[in-house]
Chain A
Amino acid sequence: GAVVSQHPSRVICKSGTSVKIECRSLDFQATTMFWYRQFPKQSLMLMATSNEGSKATYEQGVEKDKFLINHASLTLSTLTVTSAHPEDSSFYICSARTEVVANEKLFFGSGTQLSVL
């Protein structure tokens, strides 16, 4: 089945630094990628949607300049948390959708636990 690789799985950084999270579709072309954030014991909250070659669409309340999303190719999307602060500590999950697969499934990465000290 389709695989989405997300790296790193865990990252600890100092306050004020930037962190980049990568999401790759390994065996299919992802026309759309979604970035979610999940706080402990809570649901997944969509942060933004990215389409290859175009600007990401951010959900209301998500700071565009804080969470930079780049979808430069059909197999790679990145989320950069800029000037991270402790309140940005969370679990971030990407998912990828392809127009080729007709069964309308989304494929999820394994997530990244970000801890900002």
Chain B
Amino acid sequence: AQTVTQSQPEMSVQEAETVTLSCTYDTSESDYYLFWYKQPPSRQMILVIRQEAYKQQNATENRFSVNFQKAAKSFSLKISDSQLGDAAMYFCAYRPHRGTGTASKLTFGTGTRLQVTL
């Protein structure tokens, strides 16, 4: 079974600074997707960034980028120029590339609460 581990329950960053959230996963699959989701106080799940395992290039979305190390099964999220609105819970998630129905489910990590201070 796939597992996703986030070892940082809480992180803090000053506004305008950079922070990196860690995520490791375990899978026997060779092709899969990895995601970072943001859950603000509203509790709406928001997709931050997505990485396809067969792509070597790290995904980037504006101030958000990932460091995807497939051999190490590591998928960290870097937030640059942190803003107050970045404060939220961040969940790392995994899903297999192939599969339908329940085989296409997301497996979430336990989350990292990010605080952004002035």
Contact = CB atoms under 8 A, between A and B. Distances in A.
Contacts of A57: 101-102
A34 to B, nearest CB: 6
Identify the interface centre among B104, B111, B113: most chain A CB within 10 Å of its CB: B104
Majority SS at the chain A contact face: strand
B45 interface: yes
A32 B104 contact: yes
B106 A106 contact: yes
Contact of A93 (B45, B50, B95, B102): B45
Interface in B95-115: 95, 97, 100-102, 104-111, 113
Contacts of B44: 108, 110-111
A43 B101 contact: no
A46 interface: yes
Given A43-B111, A110-B42, 19 more contacts: A32-B100, A32-B101, A34-B106, A46-B107, A49-B101, A49-B102, A51-B100, A51-B101, A57-B101, A91-B43, A95-B106, A97-B104, A103-B50, A104-B97, A105-B50, A106-B47, A108-B44, A110-B44, A111-B43
